Amino acid sequence: MVQQENQVWRGRLQALGPGILLATAAIGGSHIVASTQAGALFGWQLLLLVLLVNILKYPFFRFGVEYSLQSGETLLEGYRRQNRRYLLGFVWLNLIAGVVNTAGVLILTAALLQYFIPLTLSLPVLCCLLLAVCLLVLLAGQYRLLDTVSKWVMVLLTFSTLAALAIAWQKGMQAPPDYIAPSPWQLAYLGFLVALMGWMPAPIEVSAINSLWLKAKQQQQPVNLANGLFDFNLGYWSTTVLALVFLALGALVQYGSSQEVAMAGGSYIQQFVGIYGKTIGEWSTLLVAFVAFLCMFGTTLTVLDGYARTINESFQLLGWQQNNNHRSYSFWLLLQALSGFGVILFFKSALGPMLTFAMSLAFVTTPVFAWLNYRLMRSSGQMSLWLRWLSRVGLLYLFGFAVLFLAWLVFR
């Protein structure tokens, strides 16, 4: 009995990889910026919303694992089999999202790198240095090295973030007893709520990326459905817990502060780290900066790899390129990196609004990707009843909020 249980856990641990990569990709702008801003601006008021978004998006991410392991196909192959136009739509939306999201995560990572580089370098220069390091990692080892790096990032990130929360919790809330926060349930804050939900826990197209990571894992070692779902659930719900932890950090450290909360992503990260140092002690500044940098560096790695991997696979499935190999992957990886860096150079005077645009775009496209995954899983006839109903509630929520946001943009 004990030996059988040990074999079960050995299989689960050996299957770890794609779900951890999903977590690494997710814990970035949505957590270190959006979650902490939510706590800093509104205290605990948005805690249930953050939890709700993660729950309602859960089935659409899970489908990437469940469909792939049950059918032997990736989500991209499933889109093409259902209708070539579905894959075409995914490709064009993914091309835009890949470039914009690459630029967004690079900006945030570069802003944090400034804490560890004594030289005064501009954000574009730091972005260039980061790109060089990330490309070296990905081109040298592809999935195997990415898998290893992401696991170490997640372990360090989890322990350092929980340590930061323990310190902040011991100090207690910094807000004055008579402080009254604004209510987030106003149309004026709809743009912020949409940006918060757009990257929470990650854009849904990451589910297709996750199915490709699972395919790469399968080439190394067979993964059954139970072990694959264990890996996925561990990664997904870890991101949910850490989203709540970062919201708590914002609420404990910055909520009620006399200093106005910066809304631009890069500026906010630096502001949050600075206020944390003043509240708890200057010694903690580098700890918080290190936690945030781990978040963003892991996200940058996985975003670069994931979007390049999906475009490479999609073009091969559409017949637009003959091969799907290391050379074609390298081409799309370099093109994506250069395109993202080009966006940074073009918007260098408005990097904050560009990041907000990236997060809002992710939310507007979320219902489309969610519907594609739901339709594909439903057609397989292997969707459980509880997932079917949770998916329907999630689709109603996502489409409803997206329509409300678009209406607000038009008529405000």
**What DSSP line would sit under 76-137, residue for residue?**
HHHHHHH-HHHHHHHHHHHHHHHHHHHHHHHHHHHHHHTTT--S---HHHHHHHHHHHHHHH
Q: 164: helix, coil or strand?
A: helix
DSSP for residue 330: H
Spatial separation of the C-alpha atoms in residues 392 and 59, rounded to whole Å: 10
What burial letters (b/e) apply to 148-183, b meaning 16+ CB within 10 Å? Answer: ebbeebbeebbebbeebbebbeeeebbbeeeeeeee
Name, in order, each residue with C-beta under 8 angstroms of 302's C-beta and a sequence gap of 6 or more: 21, 24, 25, 146, 150, 209
> Residues of the chain with pLDDT > 70: what percent?
91
Check whether 7 has a pLDDT greater than 80. no
Mean pLDDT for 186-199 is 80
Q: What is the C-alpha to C-alpha distance for residues 300 and 101, in angstroms, rounded to an integer?
A: 9
Instruction: Tell me what the mean pLDDT of segment 346-375 comes to.
Output: 75
Distance (Å, whole) CA 60 – CA 237: 14
Alpha carbon of residue 307 to chain centroid:
12
| The token pair that represents 63 in the structure block | 């489908």
Cis peptide before 18 (omega within 30 of 0): no
Closest CA to 25 of 238, 300, 231, 385: 300
Provide the H-helix boundaries in 172-283: 190-198, 206-220, 225-253, 265-280
Alpha-carbon separation of residue 1 from 6, 8, 100 (angstroms) = 9, 11, 51
Considering only 122-136, 194-208, 254-268, which range has the smallest mean pLDDT?
A: 254-268
Of 137-141, 225-229, 348-352, highest mean pLDDT:
225-229
pLDDT(407) > 90: no
Q: How confident is the model at residue 50 (pLDDT cuts 50, 70, 90)?
A: very high
State how far the Cα of 251 lies from the Cα of 257, in Å rounded to an integer: 10
User: How far is Cα 189 from Cα 404, in angstroms, rounded to an integer?
Assistant: 13
Lowest mean pLDDT among 81-90, 238-247, 323-332: 323-332
Give me the half-sphere count of Cα atoms (radius 13 Å) on the Cβ side of residue 319: 2
Its pTM stands at: 0.86
Q: How confident is the model at residue 333 (pLDDT cuts 50, 70, 90)?
A: very high
∠ Cα 30 213 368 (to 5°): 55
Determine the pLDDT at residue 389.
93
At 298, the pLDDT band (50, 70, 90 cuts) reads: confident
Closest CA to 27 of 242, 205, 213, 340: 242
192 has pLDDT over 90: no
In this prediction, residues 382-401 reach a mean pLDDT of 89
Alpha-carbon span 47 to 41, nearest angstrom? 12
Helix (H) or strand (E) holding 400: helix 385-411
H or E segment to which residue 199 belongs? none
Question: What value does the mean pLDDT take over residues 359-373?
Answer: 80
Q: What is the domain partition of the chain in residue ranges?
A: 2-379
Burial of 108 (0-12, 13-18, 19+ CB in 10 A): buried
The CATH superfamily holding the domain 2-379 is: Hydantoin permease (1.10.4160.10)
Q: Using pLDDT thresholds of 50, 70 and 90, give the confidence band for residue 16.
A: confident
| Residue 2, pLDDT above cutoff 70 | no
- Between the alpha carbon of residue 200 and those of residues 16, 58, 160, the distances in Å are 22, 11, 21
Distance between first and last Cα of the chain: 64
The gap from C-alpha 100 to its chain's centroid, in whole angstroms, comes to 13
